[in-house]
Amino acid sequence: MKISLHVWRQKSATSSGGMVPYEVDGVSEDMSFLEMLDMLNEQLIVQGKEPIAFDHDCREGICGTCSLMINGVAHGPDGGTTTCQLHMRSFKDGDAIHIEPWRSVAFPVVRDLVVDRSSFDRIIQSGGFISINAGAAQDANNLPIPKHSSDLSMDAAACIGCGACVASCPNGSAMLFVAAKIGHLAHVPQGQPERAKRARDMVAQMDAEGFGACSNHYECEAVCPKDIPVNFISEMNKDFMKASLCGDS
Amino acid sequence: MAFQLDSKIPEGPLADKWTEHRFHMKLVNPANKRKFRIIVIGSGLAGGAAASSLGELGYNVDCFCFQDSSRRAHSIAAQGGINAAKNYPNDGDSVRRLFYDTIKGGDYRAREANVYRLAEVANSIIDQCVAQGVPFAREYGGLLDNRSFGGAQVSRTFYARGQTGQQLLIGAYQSLQRQVAKGTVNMHVRTEMLDIVKVDGHAKGIIVRDLVSGEIRRHAADAVLICSGGYGNVFYLSTNAMGSNVTAALRAFKRGAGFANPCFTQIHPTCIPVSSEHQSKLTLMSESLRNDGRVWVPKKAGDDRAPRDIPENERDYYLERRYPSFGNLVPRDVASRAAKERCDAGFGVGSTKLAVYLDFADAINRLGEDTVRARYGNLFQMYEKITAENPYKTPMRIYPAVHYTMGGLWVDYNLQTTVPGLFALGEANFSDHGANRLGASALMQGLADGYFVAPYTVGNYLAEHGSLDAEGKVTTDHAAFDEVEKEVQDRLDRLMAVQGERSVDSFHKELGLIMWDNCGMGRTKEGLEKALREIPKLREEFWKNVRIPGDATSFNPELEKAARVADFLEFGEIMCHDALTREESCGGHFREEHQTEEGEALRRDDEFAYAAVWEYMGEGKAPEMSKEILEFKNVKLTTRSYK
């Protein structure tokens, strides 16, 4: 296959960027999308040009490092998948593909397609944990948890923190991410003592980072590589409202 | 100069060693803990757990990772589960049995005392993780579910769907971020450790590169913990993340830390086969698939028929044939070698003929497609995404791939390397898995070291050797930092100055092929000697002909890769030396000269029941080996038989 690419190039956080066209030939359908970019980078290096910087690490859809807006869709055209798991068989010979970084005030561009997502870490620091020190735990089976609750907790905990939800939201909202983190701990008994405080503090930090609010577009759910449902957002809103009205009790 | 290896195994009965040792270790007064600073390199299960636990105790911690967040370390990719001898299913498990299975599974090349401690603290890990909110799988009654996992005859594996690693890492990450908020841990993301600084023989700091700004920085501390994972990427193609590297461990080695058993690598039997030369990484399919999948190849070599057209009596279920009692559940090393044997003999399937079938047709007939989907749905989906084949209809094609490295920095019972004040935890050390790691034991070891071992033993070191007053502390103004920083800078300058013709990846791929062909699943004297001739040549070419675009003073992923590949080019040679010296077959190390008539591994306990500890002898010199003789007082060395 021969593919025409238009890729966002930006030298650094402070410089301005723009779309640059490239042609890649000899793309096979068994290649992953990132292997296609590897091939382009190999060509650029041999030609003495600077390769395109993009984030990636595990290349098996779990570490949450890879990103990319592909033809305007976070993680590309296949549903429920990360960019690293997207394969070129989802495209055809002669296709033009536009590749951009995640765009959000809270995700400044580092270089080309690489962005800084440390705002997510700071949201976790504000309360996305259970306060337990190593060594303080009781026997694990002393705390039976209904399977249904545990499964719901797991549904939320599947979030890989990639930021696709933010990139796809017209408001640049991180509410699906924050709701998933809150939902993970809200559905198990261990998470109850700090539940109200957690919701209040994490939402406050999310706002402080410059993420927008949710106005029910549900673009986040559509692109989430782990299919995390927006129900968790309404649960978070409930926890937040309750905490705002009733305090930490 | 050979190492004087003191493993510091405590006296007394096996089951009492750790308790006794903890009592005898010195403690740091709570008010004094804040006077110490500890560096942790890596934020996976070992590093994340150690950094958070040390922070909780009140130490000041600087934790470093090359990823953009501490939540992304490659521990995250572990699928199957984590072992512990809780014996919740009442099926005969015990700490002693977990110890026994682990040491036997490691083909008797691990230290008894360490393995026993691992089995002993494993139960606390499960408790700790549940308390953190890790959503392990549960029964309808609300209690934790267990499953069996390759190589074990009891159900002792705890799991969270197909993403146990991610859930355990999120637990450790959340604890770590809690300490960051409290100010006990400084997290340095996108920062790579490039060397260790020693003062008076003790590890006192590191030199790092800020991967965004390119700035070289110094960090001083009272102790340094290397938790940087394994070196499987020396093979280029592996199941490791693209960034996984040997740099921290190799730098430690070059500063005097012994490297033990570098040739012990685990080749995982169930991975998606290589499809083309552009392949950048291999994907593991969880070992749990072998609980219900049957492995086979055609009986006729070169049989090109579609798998469903090959009748039952023309299929060779070779694992069931060779190992009737364990069948498809034989340990990883055995299953991998058996697949290689069939493919080498011409019975492989698929376009490359380097694959075997993993077939679920019988399981689907027996259990129904819905049950199979409930058990393995996410794995089947992942397989289909990568290969565009539907495993409910046609058998999966699988082939072994490099997955884990049992070798690592030599550590004593306290997880301290041969350099005082320098510790190694998790996959980065050599300690617990011998020559072969059992499934669901990597997560267990990383968290055991991080939550429950290092917090005690590092404290003991600080109580014995640490300085409480500011005058006794080494600061980054010390001349040793000037010297090491200059070496780091010179090396980066040299890399940038080459400006040759070839990309970093092209060298990495070539090294990977040399390693896979000669130091992979089957190793021979001839092949290893060939690799030892080829690697230095490739290294020489690398330093003359690599091309790194951009500059060293800004974000430059090609420079990061180049520095890592330069280190792999040194490390590959050490692996081959080790494999050449170990004239036996054990676990993941199969020397073709040493096999039984039936093609099984032939261990030689009389000569090789030791850990081979390699020492850096200087630039251009071959490393030298010292031996830690392994003593087995609690288990009888038997030939592993899975027949």
pLDDT at residue A40 tops 70: yes
Q: Which amino acid is at B123?
A: N
Neighboring chain A residues of B509 at a CB cutoff of 8 Å:
none
Of the options 3.90.700.10, 3.40.640.10, 1.10.10.10, 3.40.50.720, the CATH number for the domain spanning B268-402: 3.90.700.10
Buried b (16+ CB within 10 A) or exposed e, A131-143: ebbbeebeebeeb
Task: Measure B640 CA to nearest chain A CA, in Å.
Answer: 33
To test the contact with chain B by mutation, choose from A150, A162, A182 the residue with the greatest count of B C-beta atoms within 10 A, namely: A150
Across the interface, of B142, B550, B558, the residue whose CB is closest to A147 is: B142
CA angle, B117 then B91 then B285, to 5°: 75
Neighboring chain A residues of B165 at a CB cutoff of 8 Å:
62
To test the contact with chain B by mutation, choose from A125, A198, A201 the residue with the greatest count of B C-beta atoms within 10 A, namely: A125
Across the interface, of A64, A89, A145, the residue whose CB is closest to B142 is: A145
Residues A129 and A235 in one domain: yes
Q: If you count DSSP H runs as helices and E runs as strands, how many of each does chain B have, helices first? A: 18, 19
Q: Which amino acid is at B312?
A: E
Residues A198 and A239 in one domain: yes
Residue intervals of chain B classified under CATH 3.50.50.60 are: 14-264+406-472
Across the interface, of A49, A137, A161, the residue whose CB is closest to B69 is: A161
- Report the side by side order of strands in the sheet with B191-199: B191-199, B202-210, B216-220
Residues A122 and A149 in one domain: yes
Q: What is the dihedral of CA B100, B105, B108, B111, to 10 degrees?
A: -60
Residue written as tokens 């809200």? Answer: A186
Residues A85 and A131 in one domain: no
Dist CA B304 CA B222 (whole Å)? 63
> Can you name the CATH fold of B479-608?
Methane Monooxygenase Hydroxylase; Chain G, domain 1 (1.20.58)
State the distance between the two ends of chain B, measured CA to CA, in whole angstroms.
Answer: 45
Neighboring chain A residues of B374 at a CB cutoff of 8 Å:
none
User: Across all residues in chain A, what is the average pLDDT?
Assistant: 97
Dist CA B581 CA B528 (whole Å)? 10
What does residue B157 show for φ and ψ, rounded to 5 degrees? -100, 125
Quick check: B170 and A157 CB within 8 A?
yes
Task: Measure B337 CA to nearest chain A CA, in Å.
Answer: 25
The 3-class SS string of B96-153 reads: HHHHHHHHHHCCCCCCHHHHHHHHHHHHHHHHHHHHHCCCCCECCCCCECCECCCCCC
pLDDT of residue B1: 65
- pLDDT-flagged residues of chain B (< 50): none
pLDDT of residue B152: 77
ipTM of the complex: 0.98
Question: How many C-beta atoms surround the C-beta of residue B352 within 10 A?
Answer: 14
Q: Which amino acid is at B214?
A: G
Quick check: A63 and B503 CB within 8 A?
no
Task: Measure A142 CA to nearest chain B CA, in Å.
Answer: 9
Examine the fold and report which residue of A69, A95, A111 is the final residue of a domain before the chain moves on: A111
What does residue B133 show for φ and ψ, rounded to 5 degrees? 100, 15
Task: Measure B72 CA to nearest chain A CA, in Å.
Answer: 5
Dist CA B333 CA B642 (whole Å)? 12
Question: How many C-beta atoms surround the C-beta of residue B366 within 10 A?
Answer: 10
Residue B121 C-alpha from the chain's centroid: 19
In 3D space, the residue among B304, B238, B225 whose CA is nearest the CA of residue B272 turns out to be: B238
Neighboring chain A residues of B141 at a CB cutoff of 8 Å:
144
In 3D space, the residue among A29, A177, A2 whose CA is nearest the CA of residue A102 turns out to be: A177
Q: What is the DSSP annotation of A88-124?
A: GGGS-TT-EEEEE----TTS-EEETTEE--HHHHHHH
Which class for A180: exposed (0-12), middle (13-18), buried (19 or more C-beta within 10 A)?
buried
Residues A70 and A93 in one domain: yes
Reading the block at residue A114, the tokens are 């690489």
Neighboring chain B residues of A161 at a CB cutoff of 8 Å:
69, 71
Query: Is domain B14-264+406-472 given the CATH code 3.50.50.60 in the classification?
Result: yes
Across the interface, of B67, B133, B503, the residue whose CB is closest to A130 is: B133
Residue intervals of chain B classified under CATH 3.90.700.10 are: 268-402
Residues A48 and A126 in one domain: no
In 3D space, the residue among B206, B195, B227, B178 whose CA is nearest the CA of residue B65 turns out to be: B227
pLDDT of residue B287: 83
Residues A77 and A170 in one domain: no
Neighboring chain B residues of A30 at a CB cutoff of 8 Å:
275-276
Residues A105 and A140 in one domain: no
Task: Measure B335 CA to nearest chain A CA, in Å.
Answer: 23
Reading the block at residue B530, the tokens are 């060939």
Residue intervals of chain B classified under CATH 1.20.58.100 are: 479-608
Active site residues of B: 332
Quick check: A137 and B67 CB within 8 A?
no
Quick check: A121 and B189 CB within 8 A?
yes
Question: How many C-beta atoms surround the C-beta of residue B31 within 10 A?
Answer: 8
pLDDT of residue B277: 86
Across the interface, of A50, A65, A114, the residue whose CB is closest to B72 is: A65
Across the interface, of A57, A130, A157, the residue whose CB is closest to B243 is: A57
Neighboring chain B residues of A82 at a CB cutoff of 8 Å:
none
To test the contact with chain A by mutation, choose from B174, B212, B565 the residue with the greatest count of A C-beta atoms within 10 A, namely: B174
Across the interface, of A65, A81, A143, the residue whose CB is closest to B67 is: A65
Judge contact between B206 and B197, C-beta under 8 A.
yes
To test the contact with chain A by mutation, choose from B164, B239, B242, B451 the residue with the greatest count of A C-beta atoms within 10 A, namely: B242
Residues A46 and A122 in one domain: no
Residues A147 and A100 in one domain: no
Task: Measure B599 CA to nearest chain A CA, in Å.
Answer: 34
Quick check: A125 and B547 CB within 8 A?
no
Quick check: B69 and A131 CB within 8 A?
no
To test the contact with chain A by mutation, choose from B56, B69, B553 the residue with the greatest count of A C-beta atoms within 10 A, namely: B69
Dist CA B597 CA B485 (whole Å)? 55
Q: Which amino acid is at B258?
A: G
Examine the fold and report which residue of A49, A79, A111 is the final residue of a domain before the chain moves on: A111
pLDDT of residue B151: 61
Strands (E), B246-332: 259-260, 265-271, 294-298, 315-316
Q: How many residue pairs bridge chain A and chain B with CB atoms within 8 Å of each other?
A: 216
Dist CA B554 CA A111 (whole Å)? 10
Chain A residue with CA closest to B170: the answer is A157
**Domain with A40 in it: what CATH number?**
3.10.20.30
Quick check: A60 and B284 CB within 8 A?
yes
Dist CA B379 CA B289 (whole Å)? 9
Reading the block at residue B486, the tokens are 């200059």
| Positive or negative torsion for Cα A58, A61, A64, A65 | positive
Quick check: A138 and B127 CB within 8 A?
yes
Quick check: A121 and B70 CB within 8 A?
yes
Neighboring chain A residues of B385 at a CB cutoff of 8 Å:
78, 81, 85, 87
Q: What is the DSSP annotation of B225-240?
A: EE-----GGGGSSSSS
Q: What is the dihedral of CA B141, B143, B144, B147, to 10 degrees?
A: -50
Across the interface, of B161, B382, B503, the residue whose CB is closest to A46 is: B503
Quick check: A62 and B77 CB within 8 A?
yes
pLDDT of residue B119: 98
Local structure of residue B626 (DSSP, 8 states): E
Judge contact between B203 and B421, C-beta under 8 A.
yes
pLDDT at residue A249 tops 80: no
Quick check: A45 and B388 CB within 8 A?
no
Range of the domain at A186: 118-246
Q: What is the dihedral of CA B473, B478, B484, B489, to 10 degrees?
A: 120
Q: How far, in Å, are A36, B401, B607 from residue B611 at the CA level?
A: 43, 24, 11
Neighboring chain B residues of A48 at a CB cutoff of 8 Å:
547, 549
Dist CA B343 CA B337 (whole Å)? 10
Neighboring chain A residues of B68 at a CB cutoff of 8 Å:
55, 65, 116-118
Examine the fold and report which residue of A72, A95, A111 is the final residue of a domain before the chain moves on: A111
In 3D space, the residue among B374, B241, B360, B284 whose CA is nearest the CA of residue B79 turns out to be: B284
Dist CA B334 CA B643 (whole Å)? 11
Sequence-distant (≥ 6) Cβ neighbours of residue B446 within 8 angstroms: B44, B45, B46, B49, B75, B227, B425, B426, B427
pLDDT of residue B599: 86
To test the contact with chain A by mutation, choose from B45, B71, B237, B556 the residue with the greatest count of A C-beta atoms within 10 A, namely: B71
Dist CA B261 CA B575 (whole Å)? 8
The 3-state DSSP class for residue B548 equals: coil
Dist CA B401 CA B269 (whole Å)? 7
Quick check: A126 and B506 CB within 8 A?
no
Q: Which amino acid is at B107?
A: D
**Domain with A179 in it: what CATH number?**
1.10.1060.10
Tally of domains within chain A? 2
Task: Measure B622 CA to nearest chain A CA, in Å.
Answer: 33
Judge contact between A145 and A186, C-beta under 8 A.
no
Neighboring chain A residues of B178 at a CB cutoff of 8 Å:
125, 129, 131
Q: How far, in Å, are B8, B106, B152, B439, B633 from residue B114 at the CA level?
A: 11, 13, 20, 18, 13
Task: Measure A105 CA to nearest chain B CA, in Å.
Answer: 17
pLDDT of residue B424: 98
Residues A122 and A242 in one domain: yes
Chain B residue with CA closest to A123: the answer is B177
Across the interface, of A63, A147, A184, the residue whose CB is closest to B241 is: A63
